[in-house]
Chains A and B, each alone.
Chain A
Amino acid sequence: MLNTPETHLATHPAAEMYAAEYKAGQLSRREFMVRATALGLSATAAYGLIGLKPALAQRATPPMGGSLRIQQGVLALKDPRTYDWSEMGNVTRGLLEYLIEYNRDGSFSGVLLESWESNADVTQYTLRLRPGVTWNNGDAFTAEDVAANFRGWCDSTVEGNSMAARMGGLVDAETGQAREGGIVVVDDLTVQINLPAPDITLVPGMADYPAAIQHRDLIGTNPLDHGVGTGAYRIADYQVGIAARLEKNPDHTYWGEAYLDDVTFVDLGTDPAAWFAAAEAGEFDMTYQTVGEFVDLFAAVGWEQSDVTTGATLAVRFNQLNAPYDNVEVRRAILEAVDLSVVLELGINGQGTVGENHHVCPIHPEYAELPPMAVDKDAAMARLEAAGQADANFTLISLDDGLGRFTCDAVAAQMRDAGMTVTREVLPGSTFWNDWLNYPFSATEWNHRELGVQILNLAYRSGVAWNETAFANAEFDTLLDQANGIQDAAARREVMARLQQIMQEEAVTIIPYWRSLFRHYRPGVVNADMHPKFEINIHHLGLSA
């Protein structure tokens, strides 16, 4: 449905290289799919290169009609560039579509783009638009729309515009706007993006939830105010904190298929116990995400379960601007004291895989395997004493939710086992997020990113906005720049190994585990599988007859 294989690239020199790597066992199937489809190959062509038939990405075709209720927070909408929760994107995805969609098997497929390709050194992307797409106000969807959105994304003067960071080199650091000549409209259906330096993260950036495509004249506006979009649905009712209802727009001819007649997002607050009570009362058909003990509870009442392994984690991090965490020996001692497998078991009931105290996950294409870090509680305490901080009282701050609280409790318990003094502080969400960047020692939830370098760019490069660890390391930054320009996963892995090592050596943060994400839905809901980035595309959803 989403792919038109004829117009996608059939092959690409780099993709063939990846195929060889896959066959040599250097890349997993999932990694191969991420890399190949990011280069512009259709999923079918990519599977063809490695001699597999596409199986996972295919969706069932549900019958037309029906209405569905999804449990999910309904937050106040705003300019999509400034979205800070994937929930916002999920609601507007029925109205505002994206250029590219990230699938749950790790591949990318075109939505408003029919195909895209990059040159060999990844400094130029050619985006080909899907013909025949119209806005629901009657205008045709053209290259001007795409160019206007790119310019909007690059405007780093807009507060909270996180797309500017995703556009990387396309943003001119001096003006804070798109680089001159960076966005070229070739013809009505073709846009060319020219980057000053190689960047492999542009495609995942275009697929992320703040990258919703707005009409060329409506950049920077709240979609709720104008209701103009390319999607099959329109927002019929939107009450923040209560519910949002989308219905199929009868006055609009949608380019693809949409099955459900209407979809309601039901906000039941943040307490999973309330969600479960409401599920028992039949208030909704599908959860946004099921967490902790409720995974078993939902399964026990007969709901279908869907899970996906991701690079989502909880970073129990230090802020190096605060004593005593400015002392690397203190940080090392804490890392040495904490047995991550215990944290995984106690923090998230073992629903995931053990982490390695660096923020690159084994499912990332460029992940390098490092020797395991030793856990030695006596050595940790000795190290702390040597640093003169044996009496230090560590205050570990966490959010008042299951994940953050239990994980930090487990970390604190491990530290106490080693003989350290730890105070736990639990803050409610509203207070916690006020100062999340600056707490001396706290835990932050990080979502999955498609490539390993992405999160390093976002959170660990010196001086970037979300650098909560205050980690500043010149060697790290230089290597990261280098990694950003290496397209070959195996070659990048060499650089990556050193980056991961630096994170471990400098004891930047505790990365205790990689989470599996779960979702439950009533039997009969179709294509409601969990997505590594929590995305829900209501165009795909349906109800079996």
Chain B
Amino acid sequence: MALFVLRRLGVMLLTALCLTFVVFFLTNLAPNLEKLAKTQGNARMSDAEVLSWLDRNGYGGPLLVRYGEWLGVMPGWTRLDEPTGEWRGRCLAPGQTPDEAPRRCGLLQGDFGFSTVSDAEVAAIIPERLRLTGILMFWAFAVMVPSALLVGVLAGMREGSRLDRALSTVSIGSTATPEYVSGVIFIVLLASSTTGISPLLSELGWIEGRTLFLGSARSAMDSGVTFWNFTLPVMTIALYGMGYIARMTRASMAEVMTAQYIRTARLKGVSFRNIVLKHALRNALIAPFTVIMLQFPWLLTGVVIVETLFNYNGFGWTLVQAASNNDIELLLACSIVAVFVVLVTQLISDIGYVFLNPRIRIS
């Protein structure tokens, strides 16, 4: 078991290394560096100014060396700024000389680097963003998992029944609607004071504000999560995942319900209710468990859209900002976080599988 976990951690490190190198390579392509120089220097810089800016800010060296600097295996760059006589460098605070500063400052030294778009240390940004996304994910899971399991079990316990057909149609519909479609539909229907049902409700005096729900989750960041500001983003994420998990649960449930031991239980005269709850459910939940764990990586992509749509400044939003502004070190940190989340959830899924299904052994 310990060996298994260890091996998984090794894979995680290797994946993170490969992924960050790919991201590093892509963000350091010449046009991307030019974009960076122009967002950081001046949007209307000339080509000569761009080159000078890149050189002065440490983007001039060979790619591998700079990747090494970021990892912390190569010494950080330093250079003397001629006109001012001040030293500049990767590891230098303003006013420091190379002798006073540490030689290396990279990932190995625990330094995630500096985010150019946010104008702050990456290490200071990521935790707060992750916390906000964590809140959103928590509520999305809290809505998605129980409702998906319920729908799946209800649909799967009598395969082919009218209930099964109805619930399956709903699940397929919800999983076939991507977030950027459902989110917009929700906003138009429920969060506009001129269209949808809000003006109607407002006229009848059934709601206090102008709209039923808020089309922006920004207030959830400062003044806390409320039913009013968080329903739409949570529903948008949850609906998409719900359909998929429900379909998996249904398939698994339907299969279990045809198993020999269920038939035996029925012949013994056990009530249908007890068959479902006591005999079928545990075995039927093994497959959905893996699927639920697989939803974490899916949700990471989902929050990119939902957070941008609903103005919620979490991890997904940060990723969009970093990518659109070519913020190299923030993007690298985001990739590490993504690799970590994906592989840790897979690890949990594998270990959890063992506990749910004693027939499986981890070698």
Contacts and interface: CB of A to CB of B under 8 A. Distances in A.
A84 B43 contact: yes
Contact of A76 (B117, B214, B215, B308): B117
A379 interface: no
Contact of B219 (A242, A281, A428): A281
Contacts of A283: 216, 218-219, 311
Interface string B18-50: 000000000000010011001111111110010
A77 interface: yes
B325 interface: yes
Given A157-B83, A434-B34, A301 B39 contact: no
A280 B215 contact: yes
Contacts of A300: 194
A466 B46 CA distance: 9
A268 B219 CA distance: 12
A240 B46 contact: no
A82 interface: yes
Contacts of B40: 76
B210 interface: yes
Contacts of A77: 119
A25 to B, nearest CB: 39
Contact of A431 (B35, B46, B309): B35
Interface stretch (B103-111, B185-193, B271-279, B334-342): B185-193
A230 B335 CA distance: 43
A278 B117 contact: no
Given A280-B210, A280-B215, A430-B325, A160 B229 contact: no
Describe A's contact surface by its main secondary structure: loop
B295 interface: no
B132 to A, nearest CB: 11
Chain A interface category by residue count: 35 or more
A294 interface: no
Contacts of B214: 280-282
A142 interface: no
A465 interface: yes
Interface size class of B (residues with CB under 8 A): 35 or more
A160 B42 contact: yes
A278 B192 contact: no
A76 B120 CA distance: 10
Interface centre among A160, A297, A436, A465 (most CB of B within 10 A): A160
A160 B42 CA distance: 5
Contact of A280 (B45, B49, B118, B211): B211
A320 B209 CA distance: 56
Nearest to B48: A159
B147 interface: no
Given A241-B313, A430-B39, A437 B117 contact: no
A299 to B, nearest CB: 12
Contacts of B301: none
Nearest to A220: B84
A253 interface: no
Contacts of A430: 35, 39, 324-326
A269 interface: yes
Contacts of B45: 159-160
Interface string A222-246: 0010000000000000011110000
A82 B41 contact: yes
With most chain A CB atoms within 10 A of its CB, the pick from B45, B117, B211, B308 is: B45
Contacts of B309: 274
Instruction: Name, among A242, A269, A283, A434, the residue most crowded by chain B CB atoms within 10 Å (CB to CB).
Output: A434
A157 B82 CA distance: 12
A288 to B, nearest CB: 15
B42 A239 contact: no
B216 A159 contact: no
A479 interface: no
Nearest to A431: B35
A84 B42 contact: yes
Given A159-B52, A434-B35, A437-B44, A428 B324 contact: yes
B118 A301 contact: no
B321 interface: yes
B311 A268 contact: yes
A2 interface: no
B194 A278 contact: no
Interface in A240-283: 240-242, 266, 268-269, 274, 277-278, 280-283
Interface in B291-311: 308-309, 311
B119 A281 contact: no
A162 interface: yes
A84 B40 CA distance: 10
Interface in A337-391: none
B216 A278 contact: yes
A220 B74 CA distance: 32
Contacts of B326: 430
A200 B215 CA distance: 49
Given A76-B119, A159-B42, A269-B308, A281 B229 contact: yes
Contacts of B324: 428, 430
Nearest to B326: A430
Contacts of B289: none
| Most chain B CB within a 10 A radius of its CB, from A76, A157, A224, A466 | A76
Given A76-B117, A159-B49, A241-B117, A278 B41 contact: no
B95 to A, nearest CB: 12
B53 interface: yes
B181 to A, nearest CB: 15
Contacts of B52: 159
A277 B191 contact: yes
A162 to B, nearest CB: 7
18 contacts: A84-B42, A159-B42, A159-B53, A162-B42, A241-B313, A266-B218, A277-B187, A280-B192, A280-B214, A280-B215, A282-B210, A283-B216, A300-B194, A430-B326, A431-B31, A436-B44, A465-B44, A465-B46
Interface of B: 31, 34-35, 38-46, 49, 52-53, 83, 116-120, 187, 191-194, 209-211, 214-216, 218-219, 229, 308-309, 311, 313, 321, 324-326
Q: Which 6 A/B pairs are nearest by Cβ-Cβ distance?
A: A160-B42, A277-B215, A281-B214, A76-B119, A281-B216, A278-B216
Given A281-B214, A300-B194, A430-B324, 15 more contacts: A76-B40, A76-B116, A76-B119, A84-B43, A159-B49, A241-B118, A241-B313, A242-B313, A268-B216, A277-B216, A280-B215, A281-B215, A283-B311, A433-B35, A433-B43
